[in-house]
Structure 1
Amino acid sequence: MGLKSILSNVFAAWVNKDLNRIRKNAVAIQKQTFENLISKAKNTTFGQDHHFDQIKSYDDFKRQVPLRDYEELSLYIKRVVNGEADVLWPGKPTYLTKTSGTTSGVKYIPISKESMPEHIRAARNALLNYIHETGKADFVNGKMIFLQGSPVLAEKAGIPTGRLSGIVAHHVPAYLQKNRLPSYEVNCIEDWEEKVDAIVQETVTEDMRLISGIPPWCQMYFDRLSAVSGGKKIKDIFPNFKLFVYGGVNFEPYRVRMQESIGFAIDSIETYPASEGFIAFQDSQKEKGLLLLVDSGIFYEFVPTDEYFNENPTRVSLQDVELDKNYALILNTNAGLWGYSIGDTVKFVSKDPYKIVVTGRIKHYISAFGEHVIGEEVEQALMSVANQEGIEIIEFTVAPQVNPPAGALPYHEWFIEFGTAPKNVKDFALKVDKALQTKNIYYFDLIDGNILQPLIVQSVKRDAFINYMRSQGKLGGQNKVPRLANDRKIADGLKEYIV
């Protein structure tokens, strides 16, 4: 065991002690976080507009601060982006993260001097928690790769601006810099495919032990590594590769193919980072769920998803959440986001400690006929059948077909890129449809009542989704293919790739 491994185990034990404090005192920590946030921001423009000086309780806060998404908070954010100080949080942001919004185009999310360290601390603690739980620390002695956006930053009114992953690259601890790949020069390449090829050349002969990134783009990296290595498995290219860290999308639809590429079932850590804050990470290799980070400068609220679009939906803090109930996640942060709907939906799988799973996006669902099918239901229905039948799924998306051919009932249209295709696609589609009916009673009623016909699967060509994302200028980085949509923009874009 190398010196870094020994020191990592010592540090991991210290971090675990602190995480246990958080696990045992989550509600009290959230109360303190709430009070600190209100106190710190009471003299900002937002704090004055919403009478923070009069807020003495969470109930007061709910009366003073409405729920808002990015578009509804954008009047304040625009002032921040224009260089005005003390708008949402004291002073000016340290950074602005640039991200793509579903309806708002480019979004700019502030990162403050208080919030930036929390991103780094959470990523560090996810690794150290793994070391403490498993005793496996050898990966710190080899090379680590983080597939991420360019670290080249622009400026908005003197504020450094870029993708979150590119900003984080500037804050990698010194003790990891020598182990970290790709090089700065390669990381700055903007074209994703050119960048992946350069990363392959730079890493193929290295002792890679930890690889991190969004699963579909890591898969592209693995495919190209294998191609330049004569078809070798990743375990044969990187014999000491032992840990995969991911976030951004559900890993399950990618797991089988990725493990086939690697050559074994590798240990993995799921993380939940966002431009708005680092929200949770997987703290156990044995138990389900992600540990909610309640001590990271974020006060969380939760809105039942079935009330989200109501005029006055229920808002609860951590102490009042229920298990196995879908909530829209609401953030109040030490970068100045208030009553902010991040757009994700979560479900608690434990309250001792508080652990969540991400179930989808509040605006990514299908309810063209009142069914309100969500991402979790779609993914579980598809993967349950695929896993039973040994069918490999590379990528997929679903859209409603509300204008079927004359005389036909409307339906859900699934576009699936198969790695291993079913022998009979229609039979496969019927099984997935039955699985979805068991997960969503409204969908069952629509099928049973002959309002909808069973779903139809369109098998698309290999690399169809990569080619589609390329055509949209969204290949690589933090870009993801939405699983569900109520419109047919993606579906229409995939028509040319149908087999």
Structure 2
Amino acid sequence: MRQQAWREQPGEAQQRWLQHLIKRAATTQFGRDHHFADIRTAADFRQAVPIRDYEALKPYIERVTDGQPDILWPGKPAYFAKTSGTTSGTKYIPLTAESLPNHINSARDALLCYVEETGNSAFLDKKLIFLSGSPELDQKAGIYTGRLSGIVNHHVPAYLRSNQLPSYDTNTIDDWETKLDRIIDETIDQPMSLISGIPPWVQMYFDRIQARTGKAIKDVFPDFSVFVYGGVNFEPYRARLFESISKRIDSIETYPASEGFIAYQDTQDAEGLLLLADSGIFFEFVPADEYFSENPRRLTIDEVELGKNYAVIINNNAGLWGYSLGDTVKFVSCNPHRLLVTGRIKHFISAFGEHVIGEEVEKALQYAMQQQPGTEVVEFTVAPMVSPTEGLPYHEWLIEFAQPPRDAVRFATDLNTRLAELNVYYEDLMTGAILRPLVLTPLPRGAFQQFMKSQGKLGGQNKVPRLSNDRALADGLLAIQPS
């Protein structure tokens, strides 16, 4: 495969992309403002282009959304991917004719890698479902605008489209619960072989099928053999999802974002996702513990080290420059470069300086579940309780269980012990009597779904933040009354 060359020499592929991107955008407004014509090296680029999040890049993006050409990339975008930001409200991410192959071909290549390795191609001849956003598009300044998954839906290859479900009309339904019932109507009697989506929403699909049929998923869909997922860490959902299926199937993890398709699982036999070094993106990696400093290091793919957390910065052929994706990753292999997504750079708890991150809480949860086999988690989030009515402050873990632990007190103790092992600052705060051990708060069934519905974020590509540094999400969940 063509993939072999850049897998073996990703640094060279990345340098080629840097030079191509700079040359292509030199005459844009952004390129002129940042002296692209004078850039020769990655060091020159770092000097000329600061790291920006969406909010900082917004003055340029607003000119693009007003219809002005040649601002961030030559011409105008083909689409805007519309997504919700935690601080910026609605975000409009440009997609260009040049950047679309990154999204379309990467999804295709993930499947082709699987077929090449396993020899299993029979699933392509049966029915495939992609639980996604609506393919209906609006226009902004004459440019088609919608959810990334809806945009991609318009570019599904012909050899897959004839087998794709649900129907276009069903996919355009806005209300997630109504849409889900219609999806089940259309799929329940079909030879479904591949199911793709964010794990908690796939689980909701499975739950409703089981409620309707009383059967395990393997008996409803005997041809189901491949599960494609991304967007969240799969581990908290794995046990329950595979219990619903009731047989072993292969899975393919992907790492897509509106800003770019970053990585995918290229083998069933090794940990991590293959970073796509030759797909229109020049990557930079900032050590996570330096991200908020004045002059953080910006490393190329050749400079990263195993086992360290990095914030992902992208520069791409849609005109995103020095763009902080907001995710943190950790490399588990450098030959080839495979990574794990470890969390969000701004999703952490540091009410007392502990800086607990997503990877740590997910590992702690996984450990506690292993100590009490059979425990199943639907969803969870963690928030600080800074001013309790009595006693020391603490971290509150709000967990919705499908199958609660046999011993909730021990479960909370295991969570706390493992988190203290993973985060020395958290341990020090307890030793110093600044924090007391965490408090476990089980939530009623359906609490997360009800909360997400109340926020207009039920289904599709929406995800529950694992960590918050305030009480907004936690208090919203606690206000939900059992239905």
Same fold, TM-score > 0.5, yes or no: yes
Q: CA deviation at 1:81?
A: 0.5
Residue 480 of structure 1 corresponds to 463
Q: 1:498 offset after TM fit, Å?
A: 8.0
Deviations along 1:109-164, one digit per CA (max 9) or x if unpaired, are 00000001221100000001001111111101100000000000000000000000
Q: Distance in 2 between matches of 1:134 and 1:388?
A: 33
* Shift of residue 227, structure 1, vs aligned partner: 1.5
Corresponding residue number in structure 2 for 1:193: 177
Q: 1:405 aligns with which of 383, 386, 389?
A: 389
Counterpart CA distance in 1 for 2:80 and 2:362 is 33
2:202 is the counterpart of 1:218: yes
How far, CA to CA, are the matches of 1:266 and 1:409 in structure 2? 46
User: How far 1:41 sits from its partner (Å)?
Assistant: 0.3
Which of the residues 282, 288, 293 maps onto 1:299? 282
Distance, in Å, in 1 between the alignment partners of 2:401 and 2:305 is: 37
2:273 is aligned, of 290, 293, 318, to 290
Question: Does 2:134 match 1:172?
Answer: no
1:349 paired to 2:349: no
Match of 1:424 in 2: 407
Which secondary structure does the structure 1 equivalent of 2:154 belong to? helix
Once residues 376 and 497 of structure 1 are traced to their aligned partners in structure 2, the CA distance between those partners, rounded to angstroms, is: 27
Q: Is 1:389 aligned to 2:389, yes or no?
A: no
1:261-272 pair list within 5 angstroms: 261-272=244-255
Shift of 1:19: 1.7
What's the CA shift for 1:495?
A: 1.1
Q: What is the correspondence of 1:361-400 to structure 2 with a 5 Å cutoff?
A: 361-390=344-373, 391-400=375-384
Give structure 2 stretches of 5+ with no counterpart. Answer: none
Distance 1:360 1:498 in 2: 29
Residue 404 to residue 498, structure 1, CA distance change in 2 (3 Å): farther
- 1:251 and 2:234 correspond: yes
Tell me how far apart the structure 1 counterparts of residues 179 and 475 of structure 2 sit (CA, whole Å): 29
| Cα distance in structure 2, aligned partners of 1:175 and 1:395 | 36
Offset of residue 424 of structure 1: 3.1
Which among 431, 448, 457 is matched to residue 431 of structure 2?
448
Separation in structure 1 between the aligned mates of residue 406 and residue 12 of structure 2, nearest angstrom: 55
TM-score where L is the length of structure 1: 0.95
How far apart in 1 are the matches of 2:186 and 2:239? 27
C-alpha displacement of 1:404: 1.0
Which residue of 458, 471, 484 maps to 2:454? 471
Match of 1:25 in 2: 9
> How many residues matched?
481
For the Cα contact (< 8 Å) 1:426–1:456, is it kept in 2? no
Tell me which residue corresponds to 1:139: 123
Structure 1 segment 14-163 matched on structure 2, within 5 A = 17-163=1-147
Q: Deviations over 1:199-250 (max 9, x none)?
A: 0000000000000000000011111111221x10000000010000001111
* Structure 1 residue 497 displacement after superposition: 4.3
Question: Does structure 1 retain, via aligned residues, the 8 Å contact 2:367–2:414?
Answer: no
Shift of residue 496 of structure 1?
2.9
The secondary structure found in structure 2 opposite 1:171 is coil
Query: Does the aligned pair in 1 maintain the 2:28–2:74 contact within 8 Å?
Result: yes
Paired-residue identity, %:
60
Contact 1:460 1:497 in 2 (8 A): no
Is residue 277 from structure 1 mapped to residue 260 from structure 2 by the alignment?
Answer: yes
Q: What is the rounded CA distance, in whole Å, between the counterparts of 2:326 and 2:59 in structure 1?
A: 19
The answer as to whether partners of 1:280 and 1:291 remain within 8 angstroms in 2 is yes
Would the aligned equivalents of 1:150 and 1:190 in 2 still touch at CA under 8 Å? yes
Aligned residue identity for 1:46? F
Alpha-carbon distance in structure 1 between the residues aligned to 2:351 and 2:409: 23
Supply the AA of the counterpart residue of 1:28. Answer: E
Counterpart contact for 2:13–2:278, Cα < 8 Å: yes
Specify the alignment match of 1:309 in structure 2.
292
